[in-house]
Amino acid sequence: MGTRTMAEAAAGGLVASMVMSSVRQLTTGLGLVRQTPPETVLKQGAPSVLAKFSRQRRRALIELAHWLYGAAGGLAYTLVPPRLRRHPLTGPTYGLVLWLVFDKGVAPLLQLPHVERPSTVERLALLADHLVYGGIVSAALGQGALDRTSPQDSVPTARFGIDLVGDTAG
């Protein structure tokens, strides 16, 4: 995989995690989610690091960590075989898998408190934001975007009608 493709994959995951963060602002603001997974992970796993920052800076650090994790998720999406990336349910399924890995693997391993007694509403809200993440990653990177052969096949142009790579021909 080329550097350009890797950068596009990371950018797709980054944008998807930013949108996911917006969904989380809504769900936490409505009281559906008590504490987001990135908050929980950093507060439980790295409290001494967070203690070095003001409350406002902690929020920014938590958000940045979430975006970087999202970018890594975009890169990991490139491991999905191209024939599967073309299916419209692959993105949401990818989001579901990421949620399950966190919920059933990472959270219990780190002994995060939300695993003990999450409400059904909270679990559904977190599932929903992961489905959104996967859908956006898929829209940005799926359906042949990562296995194209020329810049004219660029997914930003094909998907969003905007040429983000500066190619004015076509």
pLDDT digits (tens, 9 = 90+) for 95-107: 999 999 988 888 8
Let me know if residue 164 belongs to a domain.
no
Domain count across the chain? 1
Let me know if residue 152 belongs to a domain.
no
* Helix residue spans in the chain (DSSP H): 3-29, 37-45, 47-51, 55-77, 82-85, 90-101, 107-109, 120-141, 155-160
- Look at 28 and 154; give whichever has higher pLDDT: 28
- Look at 72 and 1; give whichever has higher pLDDT: 72
Q: Work out the average pLDDT over 72-77.
A: 95
Helices 37-45 and 55-77: angle between axes, nearest 10 degrees: 110
Q: What is the pLDDT of residue 155?
A: 44
> What letter represents residue 119's amino acid?
S
Contact of 164 with 156, CB cutoff 8 Å: yes
Let me know if residue 149 belongs to a domain.
no
Structure tokens at 18: 């930013």
Condensed to tens digits (0 to 9), the pLDDT of residues 5-57 reads 889 999 999 999 999 999 999 999 999 998 888 888 888 878 888 889 998 89
Half-sphere exposure of 93 (CA within 13 A, CB side): 9
Let me know if residue 25 belongs to a domain.
yes
Q: What range defines the domain where residue 82 resides?
A: 3-139
Q: How far apart are CA 92 and CA 95, in angstroms?
A: 5
Let me know if residue 150 belongs to a domain.
no
Let me know if residue 68 belongs to a domain.
yes
The verdict on pTM exceeding 0.85 is no
In sequence order, the 6+-apart residues with CB closer than 8 A to the CB of 42 are 49, 50, 61, 62, 65
Q: What is the pLDDT of residue 118?
A: 73
Question: Is the pLDDT assigned to residue 159 strictly greater than 70?
Answer: no
